[in-house]
Structure 1
Amino acid sequence: MPNKLSGLQKDVLSLYRSCLRATRTKPAGTRPNFAAFARREFEKHVKMDKKDFGTIEFMLRKGRRQLEIYEQPGVTNIAG
């Protein structure tokens, strides 16, 4: 029986999926750059203490703000 995900875990996965969906709106040549950037940002914090709710919530807010910026049509490439 699979483990149930907590609300924060669902929020993190939702943000990750939103990041990957946003890459589809970018030029075909730069999509891998956006996907790789998103993956790296999430992997940086994979070992974060799952009980550190304040930090996780802060990182979610920060990620959502970054996503809003990168979703803008004028942003066509990203450097890692």
Structure 2
Amino acid sequence: MRLSGLQKEMLALYRQCIRECRKKPEANRKHFQAFARREFEKNIKIDKRDFAAVEFLLRKGRRQLEIYSSPGVKDIK
């Protein structure tokens, strides 16, 4: 199956989120992983041809990743 550019970007963002989870304290990694998974699953039903929505979610996800990857953030609920 061939992926579109936006699909590749979305997968890359998910992988980046999982990598950032590994940098968090071990006791809280599961919280970060669960949060990332929930956020992606929440929007799984969006049509892949709805480019505006997908691009918006990519931007939103990148902003959230930037915030949560900062060293000051130790836990997430």
**TM-score tier (shorter):** over 0.9
What SS does the aligned partner of 1:54 have? helix
List 4+ stretches of structure 1 deviating above 3 A.
Answer: none
- Alignment match of 1:48 (pick from 17, 28, 46): 46
Higher helix share: 2
1:17-56 Cα deviation digits (max 9, x unpaired): 0000000110000000000000000000111011100010
TM-score by length of 2: 0.99
The structure having more radius of gyration, on CA atoms, is 1
Count of residue correspondences: 77
| Matches of 1:39 and 1:49, distance apart in 2 | 18
* C-alpha RMSD of matched pairs (Å): 0.4
Give the drift of 1:59. Answer: 0.4
Ranges in structure 2 where 5+ consecutive residues have no aligned partner: none
- Alignment match of 1:72 (pick from 62, 70, 73): 70
Ranges in structure 1 where 5+ consecutive residues have no aligned partner: none
Identity of aligned residues (%): 62
**Residue number in structure 1 paired with 2:18:** 20
